[in-house]
Every structure is written in structure tokens, then in C-alpha cells.
Amino acid sequence: MKKILVLLADGFEDIEVVTPTDLLRRAKIKVDLVSIDKRLVTTSSGTEIMSDMTIDTIDENQYDMLFLPGGSGVKNLEKSSEVKKLITYFDQTKKFIAAICAAPSILGKMGLLKNRTFTCYPGYEKQFNQGNYTKSPLEISDYFITARGIGYVNKFALQLIEILTDKRTKNKVAKQTLILESGEFDD
């Protein structure tokens, strides 16, 4: 079974975590919600969510993908040396790194988007000077998957499903949840 590690920090964007987690789990992908400090994490809207574990208890070798959600929690993720160490591990081992909204800025500031195409929430691309920024909803460059923001969260989650499983599983989840675009998810 494929496993994805979702990093949580106070201020993360609710929809950018809850929706992908739901869709990924429907695809039978193991999702671990991992907080950078305490188990109970507060979202950008003030909702409290209990993480599955904290970052100091994980074995990064068990995961196929690292996922960084956006929101004001990006500032908290960016301050964590453990988060940077984890991102570096996933980069060096060429495992998938997914980031949405403001979160690609962490990767950019670490120098990981150099010579890569990426997207992010408008304005965050100005925080670093590298890579090829597009205004596309979603970009895949090597093992980096970036998405623009909340409006594209379903497309983003379905792409993660396809990367970790296959197109058939993605289509099944899309049909099951009525995330349909004219013929796009037909078998």
C-alpha cells in the first residue's frame, strides 16, 4: 500500500488537507497527518484537527510522497529545521514532493525549484527567483507536484492518486465523488 505523509502546522488551509486526505483514502492510499510539534493542530479557520503523530516519531523511509499544504501554516513549516531535513531527504531520494498554494515557496526558498516548472498561489513566486513559474492549476516537474490553491484541490488530489496508483483508480474516485468533467475521467 502506498503511503503519503501530510505535514501539518498551525494555520494550514483546511480544504487543502481535508479534501486530499479524503480522496486519497478512498483510493486506498495510507495517509498520515503529521504535525510538526503538537498533536492538536489549528487550521486557518480555527478548526482543531488531531494529527496522527508528530514529526519526531516518523520513519520517512516508509513514505512514497511528502505533501505540504498551504495557508498561513506555511510560515510555521518553513521555520522548522525538521521539515527542511525531511524535504531534503525526499528530494535526495527522488521521492514525490507535493505542495499546494503558498507551500511551493518553501521549496523555492530551499533552491529546489531551480530548472523546474511550478505553480503556486499568485505572489508567492516572487519570494524566490528561480524555476519556471506558470499560472497553471497544476504542474508536474520531475517528482515535484505543485498546485495553485484551493480552487484546484480536487484536480490536485486526483493527480496525486494517479501518481501513486493508476489512472483507473483516479477515475473510480472521481466518479464515486462526482468530480466529473465531460469525459475526462472515462475508463
- State the Cα–Cα distance between residues 150 and 80, nearest whole angstrom: 24
**What's the whole-model pTM score?**
0.94
CA distance 132 to 134: 6
Q: 170: phi > 0 → left, psi -120 to 50 → alpha, else beta; which?
A: alpha
Kindly list the structural domains of the chain, giving each domain's residue range(s) and its CATH number in brackets, ordered by start: 3-176 (3.40.50.880)
pLDDT for residue 25: 98
How many Cβ atoms are within 10 Å of 165's Cβ, its own excluded? 18
Nearest to 127 by CA among 115, 114, 144, 109: 109
pLDDT at 129: 87
Tell me the CA end-to-end span of the chain in Å, nearest whole number.
23
What pLDDT score does 184 carry?
56
CB 54 within 8 A of CB 86: no
- Catalytic, out of 23, 66, 101, 107: 101
Q: Is 101 a catalytic residue?
A: yes
Looking at residue 168, its pLDDT comes to 97
Burial classification of residue 138, based on how many CB atoms lie within 10 Å of its CB (0-12 exposed, 13-18 middle, 19 or more buried): middle
Query: Which pLDDT belongs to residue 169?
Result: 97
Distance (Å, whole) CA 179 – CA 141:
24
Could you say which residues of the chain have pLDDT below 50?
182
- The per-residue pLDDT for 115 is 93
- Find the radius of gyration of the CA atoms of the chain: 15
Dump strand ranges (E) for 9-57: 30-35, 40-42, 48-50, 53-54
